[in-house]
């Protein structure tokens, strides 16, 4: 193993320009991919925060008494997907109206027309348009329920743009990944061309396929690791500068650095294998 590693390092130094160029391209590709990943993660965090604040508002028929209200509350407790169920009485609704509009409802009308209601949040797994629609249909069929209000249009818009962003990240990431693998492959090809005579001699003296392959695979992996480390260094520096200027703008998860390192290794390995498949014939 030490022999293969030493030969792989020597091979990289024999093609310095191509190696450096491939490492830089890998680093740039990984930085762009990681920026998109961070954007998706932080956008999802923002969307989750909006989802957390979104509430269903279930209005109770004014003809219902306290017994009926308690019955409705018990039924709501049994429905899967609902949480933080809060009852708003007619008196509380009038107080809320006054706080929002700076006017007493009784100064405008002789009686309080505002209905009692339940404000309900959804559990995380039920925050989708399809599941919300099913819950709303179920609530509207309950006895004593006058109406159910929820911003389904906002939920649909959030879901739409998250899907578009996800597809965009996958497409851009795929293009960058292919470019990185291709460049690593070309670097390994140049190294193979420069060592054709040595490879032929190794074949003649009985070297196995794996023995000849391993140094080139090591070269690809080293390029991938160096590219990943360079990307991580640049990313950490930029994110720290951004956090100094605008604190708490971006939430950074340590897993992103492991993802970058893993992608770098994958790019290097696949690039090596691609070059070996095409040019190292037996």
Instruction: Reply yes or no on whether the pLDDT at 282 is more than 50.
Output: no
Q: Give the confidence band of 112 by pLDDT, cuts at 50, 70, 90.
A: low
pLDDT in tens, 155-208: 777 778 778 877 887 887 778 778 777 777 777 677 667 666 777 777 778 777
Residue from 34, 21, 35, 37 nearest 271 by CA: 21
The number of domains in the chain is 2
Q: Is the full-model pTM beyond 0.75?
A: no
Phi-psi region of 82 (alpha: psi -120 to 50; beta: other; left: phi over 0): beta
Which of 83, 117, 150 represents a domain boundary (last residue)? Answer: 150
Instruction: Indicate whether 165 and 272 sit together in one domain.
Output: yes
Which of 150, 169, 187 represents a domain boundary (last residue)? Answer: 150
CATH number of the domain enclosing 67: 3.30.70.3040
For residue 14, what are the contacts with CB-CB under 8 A and spacing of at least 6?
191, 194, 195
């Amino acid at each position: 193993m030490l022999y293969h590693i030493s030969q792989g390092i020597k091979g990289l130094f024999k093609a310095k320009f191509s190696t450096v160029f491939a490492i830089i391209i890998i680093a740039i590709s990984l930085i762009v991919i990681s920026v998109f990943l961070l954007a998706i993660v932080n956008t999802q965090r923002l969307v989750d925060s909006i989802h957390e604040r979104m509430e269903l508002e279930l209005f109770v028929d004014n003809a219902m008494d306290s017994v009926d209200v308690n019955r409705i509350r018990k039924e709501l407790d049994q429905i899967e997907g609902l949480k933080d169920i809060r009852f708003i009485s007619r008196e509380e609704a009038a107080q809320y109206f006054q706080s929002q509009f700076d006017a007493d409802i009784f100064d405008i009308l002789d009686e309080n027309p505002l209905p009692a209601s339940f404000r309900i949040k959804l559990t995380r797994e039920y925050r989708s348009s399809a599941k919300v629609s099913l819950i709303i249909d179920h609530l509207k069929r309950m006895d004593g329920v006058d109406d159910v209000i929820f911003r389904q249009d906002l939920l649909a818009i959030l879901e739409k743009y998250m899907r578009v962003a996800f597809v965009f990240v996958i497409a851009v990431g795929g293009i960058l990944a292919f470019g990185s693998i291709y460049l690593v492959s070309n670097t390994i090809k140049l190294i193979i061309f420069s060592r054709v005579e040595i490879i032929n001699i190794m074949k003649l003296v009985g070297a196995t396929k794996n023995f000849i392959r391993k140094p080139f695979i090591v070269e690809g992996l080293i390029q991938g690791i160096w590219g990943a480390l360079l990307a991580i260094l640049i990313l950490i520096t930029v994110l720290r500068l951004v956090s100094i200027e605008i604190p708490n703008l971006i939430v950074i998860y340590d897993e992103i650095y492991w993802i970058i390192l893993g992608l770098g290794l994958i790019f290097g390995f696949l690039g090596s294998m691609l070059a070996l498949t095409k040019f190292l014939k037996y």
